[in-house]
Amino acid sequence: MNKISILYIILFTSGSIFSMGHLDHEKKGLHPVAASGQVVVTYKADCKKGDPKKAMKLIDEIISYEKKNSPIKYSSAPGTWSDKSVGAVDLHASQKAMDDAFEWQAGNKKWSNMFDQIASACGITTDDFVIDVMKAK
């Protein structure tokens, strides 16, 4: 076989492999955001009076701190909403896990100070955050 024939075979098979994965994704769709019993928590703060870039940097820092220090493991993603509010979305394994995480946060002075700094960067207090909790069905 010559080099051109081998190149065509490689290109054809690699294209087929990639397209099979693409078709598989189309059949399955996106994974659910949360499984039944898990808890999604959103934190949202109006940061128009403050510095949203600084607040987002601080949110990244608090999430890093949580990952390293929280005895209760959960996932968290920082982000912005369409109205330019800043915050995060957390996913907890269960209602109890969320309650335990909230208890750890409340009792952890460094975490509380970091949360205060985020609010301050937005020109608000932590009481101004909108926190919503959803239990997945």
What CATH number is given to the structural domain containing 112?
3.30.70.100
Instruction: Band the pLDDT of 18: cuts 50, 70, 90.
Output: very low
Q: Which two tokens stand for residue 22?
A: 């693409």
Instruction: Band the pLDDT of 29: cuts 50, 70, 90.
Output: confident
23 and 44 together in one domain? no
Instruction: Band the pLDDT of 93: cuts 50, 70, 90.
Output: very high
Report the pLDDT value the prediction gives residue 30, as an integer from 0 to 100: 82
17 and 50 together in one domain? no
What is the mean pLDDT of the segment spanning 52-78?
A: 97
pTM equals: 0.77
Q: Which domain holds residue 100?
A: 39-135
25 and 73 together in one domain? no
16 and 49 together in one domain? no
Say how far apart CA 100 and CA 97 lie, in whole Å.
5
Domain total of the chain: 2
* Backbone phi, psi, residue 2, to 5°: -90, 170
Say how far apart CA 7 and CA 130 lie, in whole Å.
57
Say how far apart CA 4 and CA 45 lie, in whole Å.
59
Q: Cite the beta strand spans of 11-85 per DSSP E.
A: 39-45, 75-80
18 and 61 together in one domain? no
Q: Are 72 and 66 in contact (CB under 8 A)?
A: no
Q: CA nearest 95: which of 15, 10, 38, 25?
A: 38
55 and 19 together in one domain? no
